[in-house]
């Protein structure tokens, strides 16, 4: 996975959100983990924190907004910009979604195609 080119700065806002919204307010230490794997012709990049998690209703709102391609300004623009850049670059079937359990973890999952990378100078 190290040699697969991806769009610049798609992980940075997700890591920043993990620290700011998940870890910062947690009592004690926190962990942010970045992973990549291939499955069924796609690459998945994940950013997972063991922080506060996201309340179920808020998580549904975030994922609905990401799937529809609109921005929930109360949540900021970072993750929506990342999602839109992925969709514009790779296609509408790709993008970002969140998984979370309140009080346990939050995981941002980026899905991009495997083997359809553009030239390195475009990334």
User: Is the model's pTM score more than 0.85?
Assistant: yes
77: left (phi over 0), alpha (psi -120 to 50) or beta: alpha
Is residue 43 a part of any domain in this protein?
Answer: yes
Contact between residue 43 and residue 96 where contact means Cβ atoms under 8 Å apart: no
Tally of structural domains, the chain: 1
Decide if 5 is inside a domain.
no
Structure tokens at 91: 């296609």
Cβ atoms of 100 and 106 within 8 Å: the answer is yes
- Regions in the chain scoring below 70 on pLDDT: 72-76, 116-123
Query: Domain residues for 91?
Result: 12-116
> Taking the CB of residue 66, how many other CB atoms lie within 10 A of it?
23
pLDDT tens for each residue of 23-50 = 998 889 999 999 999 999 999 999 999 9
Q: Give the pLDDT of residue 3.
A: 79
R_g (Cα) of the chain, nearest Å: 14
Tokens linked to 22: 């998940």
Establish if 76 belongs to a structural domain.
Answer: yes
| CA distance to 21, 23, 24, 100, 113, per residue, from 27 (Å) | 13, 8, 8, 18, 38
What pLDDT sits at residue 88? 93
Residue 4 pLDDT: 81
User: Does residue 4 form part of some domain?
Assistant: no
Query: Residue 74 falls within a domain, yes or no?
Result: yes
Q: Answer yes or no: is 122 within a domain.
A: no
Euclidean distance between CA atoms 112 and 53, whole angstroms: 24
Q: Is 1 helix (H, G, I), strand (E, B) or coil?
A: coil
The CATH number assigned to the domain holding 41 equals: 3.30.565.10
Residue 121, domain member (yes or no): no
The pLDDT assigned to 119 comes to 42
Q: Is 88 part of any domain? A: yes
């Amino acid at each position: 996975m190290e040699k697969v080119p991806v769009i610049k700065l798609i992980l940075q806002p997700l890591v920043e959100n993990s620290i700011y919204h998940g870890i910062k307010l947690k009592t004690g230490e926190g962990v942010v983990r970045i992973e990549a794997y291939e499955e069924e012709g796609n690459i998945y990049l994940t950013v997972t924190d063991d922080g506060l998690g996201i309340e179920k209703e808020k998580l549904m709102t975030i994922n609905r907004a990401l799937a529809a391609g609109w921005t929930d300004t109360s949540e900021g623009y970072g993750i929506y910009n990342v999602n839109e850049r992925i969709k514009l670059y790779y296609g509408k079937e790709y993008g970002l979604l969140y998984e979370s359990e309140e009080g346990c973890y939050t995981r941002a999952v980026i899905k991009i195609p495997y083997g359809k990378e553009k030239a390195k100078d475009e990334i």
